[in-house]
Amino acid sequence: MGLALGIDFGTSGARAIAINPDRDILAQATCTYDRQLPEVWKTSLFSLFEQLPLDCRQQITRILINGTSATVLFCNGEGEAIAPPLMYNDDRGKAMIPQIQGFAPSDHLVLSATSSLAKLLWGLENLSLDGSIYFLHQADWLASLLHGKLGISDYHNALKLGYDVHNLCYPDWFPSLPDRLTLPKVYTPGEAIAPILPQIAQQFSIPPDCLICAGTTDSIAAFIASGASVPGDGVTSLGSTLVLKLLSETPVNNSQYGIYSHRFGDRWLVGGASNTGGAVLRHFFTDVELETLSNQINPHQKSNLDYYPLLRKGDRFPINDPNLPPRLHPRPADPVEFLHGLLQGIARIETLGYQRLTELGATPLKRLYTAGGGAKSNTWSKLRQTYLSVPFIPSISPLAAYGSACLAQQSS
Ligand code: ADP
């Protein structure tokens, strides 16, 4: 077995990581982009290949790309984009929600304004799309540049399109679409699709029998990268918002709390996101202040402050209340005390979040990994540990590209 190459396309750049069968990183490449356009993605993909050392490229036997979940595009039969991509956070699809409510189950993920299905229906109604068209996710399109087939996706990317990940088919309620539109055929993430196109293999000195694998989404790739792998493993992402992911024997889907589950082999990756998180910390402190002030906090001592840190009213998970007010008073004069209250408040919300997932049927949290900017803070980890009472495990890697490489390596 040769090297597996994982490639992550994020919101501001792309990264490639090559690993050996022992999962050691042998080479890395990065590039940034300031425009989200298919031709920029393509140039970036090829630039990543060029940056990898020749002897590394010559040993690659699997390639897998993760894209940003719900970033989609329409293309023609030649694989050329025929309209600018609709990015993950584009909510123009909200105009289609009343239509979707007419056929989709009432609590389904596709009822979100940013779902891939809302974008598909919006595009069909509002973009000029002539002739045969393919609807693809970012990862699908990028992989097609390498294997040369159009109309292939994976069941992680296809979840927000409405694909039924239990029965592995498009559901009965799926709307009828024009015959000239091809929906992606959905593969298991990591499954081999086809060997690399001969001209690409030759151009970059990649072996011609290198297999291109079905992709995944950025957040699932990041979950895999942490090393989390058994039911009860959770990954908390302390980024701008607080995102919890818990590997579970059973799926949990609850639209009230915005909880949904990705299929993860024969297990389920249950996720929930709160509006609290690092954005609130950054509103009050610089990253340097966060580091210096948090070093002065005693994480084993409880703060008397009872905060629910939000920048504006409303949260969905673990408390579903669109009018929930930010609770940030009283504010002590001492910034160390204030920060202590904020970190504790977020830790309590995280704890309540895992409790909520379990209450709704997920496997209870047994071990915890941490990702995102807040993972840097040892004080915060110690403080969180007093609430969560499970072992904290260091992540193998914080990089989604590493997770994609691991998924590629498991490919059959
Ligand atoms: P995102 O990708 O969601 O924008 P990141 O994962 O880059 O976010 O994390 C950024 C957040 O990390 C910031 O909002 C900041 O509050 C938080 N952060 C950075 N350094 C520290 C620190 N030393 N202690 C606690 N939080 C920190």
Ligand 1 mutation target, pool 244, 281, 336, 397, most atoms within 8 A of CB: 281
pLDDT digit string, tens, across residues 268-325: 999 999 999 999 999 999 999 999 999 999 999 999 999 999 999 999 999 999 999 9
Measured between alpha carbons, how far is 377 from 236 in angstroms, rounded to an integer? 13
Question: In the chain, how long is the greatest CA-to-CA distance?
Answer: 66
R_g of the chain, CA atoms, integer Å: 22
Residue 33 is inside which H or E element, if any?
none
Ligand 1 mutation target, pool 276, 297, 377, most atoms within 8 A of CB: 377
Q: How far is the CA of 287 from the centre of ligand 1 (A)?
A: 7
357 CB neighbour count, 10 Å cutoff = 28
331 CB neighbour count, 10 Å cutoff = 13
pTM of the model: 0.94
Model ipTM value: 0.97
Structure tokens at 227: 């090393």
Q: How far is the CA of 373 from the centre of ligand 1 (A)?
A: 3
Alpha helices in 129-266 (DSSP H): 138-147, 198-204, 218-226
Which residue's CA is the closest to the ligand 1 atom numbered 25?
374
Residue 182 is inside which H or E element, if any?
strand 181-182
The set of protein residues with a Cβ atom below 6 angstroms from ligand 1 is 239-240, 278-279, 281-282, 287, 290-291, 294, 372-374, 376-377, 380
Q: How far is the CA of 26 from the centre of ligand 1 (A)?
A: 28
281 CB neighbour count, 10 Å cutoff = 25
Measured between alpha carbons, how far is 218 from 400 in angstroms, rounded to an integer? 6
Atom number of ligand 1 nearest to Cα 343: 25
- For residue 32, which of 53, 8, 50 has the smallest C-alpha distance? 8
Structure tokens at 44: 């970036």
pLDDT digit string, tens, across residues 86-133: 999 999 999 999 999 999 999 899 999 999 999 999 999 999 999 999
Measured between alpha carbons, how far is 279 from 204 in angstroms, rounded to an integer? 41
Per-residue pLDDT at 356: 98
Q: How far is the CA of 237 from the centre of ligand 1 (A)?
A: 10
Measured between alpha carbons, how far is 245 from 369 in angstroms, rounded to an integer? 10
Report whether pLDDT(412) > 90.
no
Which residue's CA is the closest to the ligand 1 atom numbered 26?
374
Q: How far is the CA of 239 from the centre of ligand 1 (A)?
A: 5
What is the Cβ-side half-sphere exposure of residue 51, based on CA atoms within 13 angstroms? 19
- For residue 396, which of 376, 369, 378, 368 has the smallest C-alpha distance? 369
